[in-house]
Structure 1
């Protein structure tokens, strides 16, 4: 199949496939006599793996490492599990931070009418909040 067909199959732009080739996530494809790229089912399977790994939050560098294991004939499952555990911990941290931010915003909205006395330069709600934020929060 040609690049456009492969791209359509996965809902991608052909430029994405060329990029994956340029960073060695996909091997250089065979070419027709006129220079068109020709892909096979192995390429489609590899692209499917790449897309699934990305959806799970793995970086292109992580995916490259996993593919390297495969190319060396090694099973990467232990490495993949470690990557997924790390990613899960990062997500847990981000979720906790977002929950803290949500609580802070909810409290701020609830107090908004008390905080905006019309004297602020931009918005008294935010300016009052900045003035009274904990020092650690201002350093972020």
Structure 2
């Protein structure tokens, strides 16, 4: 029994058009998902950088206030101040507020003034972002005993 090789169909090799189309659809879906992930990662990086710059600005302002003498720090309500150029370049809607208040607790300690610096801003959609705030206490120097 011999088979006639000329009458049998040769085995198909390669991909069909349906398989190629399905692979193309999967590739396009993966690329679209990858583009969305890249966009979200970039957005998160910008938000993190904005937060770091705001924190650095608040820390710098708090440090300059702490360097003042006790008498130079006047008790004030929260007052708005202009944010630094570095912050405004990255966060155009940034505002900074400073408040100095007299801390009355604990009673057995010398008086202290609480200094609070807060930087707040809105994101690109106009929604308020959780502000960055720092606080410190400046204690009144004890009178030196003259002997």
Shorter-normalised TM-score: what interval?
A: 0.3 to 0.5
Report which of the two has the higher share of strand: 2
Q: Which has the higher contact order (CA 8 A, sep 6+)?
A: 2
Report which of the two has the higher share of helix: 1
Q: So what's the TM-score if we normalise by structure 1?
A: 0.34
Q: So what's the TM-score if we normalise by structure 2?
A: 0.32
